Amino acid sequence: MATRVQRRQDHDVYLDLILRFPLRPIRSDKELNQATQTIDFLIDKNQLQPGEKDYLDVLSDLVERFETEHHPIPQLPDAELLQHLIETKGVSQAEVGRATHIAESTISEVLARKRKLSRAHIGKLARYFCVEPGAFTYEE
């Protein structure tokens, strides 16, 4: 009996979310804003019920699809991306070098656009900064 009650409560929570913002393709920035507010509402909760998790998963996919199509993020040259990641993380070139086992001089040369990143460098930097390796594949 307890599982039936739990499923009913989860069903009600899911339906409430559908009424708040229906799961359908996002077609405007206004809808994107509403979807983002709904995502923020769910993320701020301490614990999500299974229906809330499912709803959040699908809504996040819809937001990503809309943003990819309508608000693509331009790819940065490797030097600019690396500089941004270093500043955002609040670390020095030396710290990045120690953590990734890439010579600090190599990092300096990449930042000065005197050298390109190798595949090995890209893999190490992607792991260190928790980004996809593809973020570093800018062609100038």
- Average pLDDT (13-38) is 94
Q: What is the reported pLDDT for 82?
A: 96
Domain boundary pick from 70, 90, 118: 70
Q: What is the reported pLDDT for 134?
A: 87
* CATH number of domain containing 99: 1.10.260.40
Q: Which two tokens stand for residue 120?
A: 């090995």
Domain hosting residue 26, numbered range: 2-70
Q: How many domains does the chain have?
A: 2
Residues 127 and 86 in one domain: yes
Distance CA 14, CA 17 (A): 5
Helix, strand, coil % in the chain, rounded to nearest 5: 70, 0, 30
Chain centroid to CA 10: 27
Residues 104 and 60 in one domain: no
Distance CA 68, CA 70 (A): 6
Residues 102 and 65 in one domain: no
pLDDT, one tens digit per residue, over 48-76 is 998 999 999 999 999 999 998 998 877 88
Distance CA 116, CA 7 (A): 55
Residues 57 and 83 in one domain: no
